[in-house]
Amino acid sequence: MGWVEDLYDHTIALDTAPLISFIAKEEPYHDLVRPLFQAIDEGKIHAVTSIITLIEVMVRPLREKDEKLAAQYKDILLGAKNLTTLPLSETIALEAAKQRATLNLRTPDAIQVATARIAGAETFITNDKRLRVPPELTRLTLDELLNPTSSTEPGQ
């Protein structure tokens, strides 16, 4: 089985980079993440992300006054089936503080990781090799998926 099929019937958490790679057709990642987003759309995988993702993906379209791209990001993050964008809540904020304290994360990353934990995700998909996750989360980076032999730290 491939990496996407291994995630069937699971809840995954998405960092910002995989979404940008998919929507912006960013190579070499677009072909890698397309099956993931197809599986999410088909209900084979449930995905969660933080409202932080909306903030991060909107910067480029707003700077470039690209209303079409901005609307596309907003529609996917706030309206796609099987993808839940969670707001920042007191529970997530407290968990984010815990993740900042234990993993030395920046606030946006801590919120993303906290959202994943609170939502019950098992896997966190990112492209930030430095982003640390707690042991109960498996971290997958796009670069490591493209080049499995280049991984220096399994899952972390």
pTM metric for this prediction? 0.91
- Give, in degrees to the nearest 5, the angle at Cα 86 between 82 and 87: 155
Does residue 149 surpass a pLDDT of 90? no
For the chain, what's the residue count? 156
Q: Which helix (DSSP H) or strand (DSSP E) does residue 109 occupy? A: helix 107-118
pLDDT computed for residue 155 by the predictor:
43
Does residue 2 surpass a pLDDT of 80? yes
Least confident residue range of 8-17, 108-117, 145-154: 145-154
43-78 pLDDT per residue, tens = 999 999 999 999 999 999 999 999 999 999 999 999
Domains of the chain, each with CATH number or no CATH:
5-147 (3.40.50.1010)
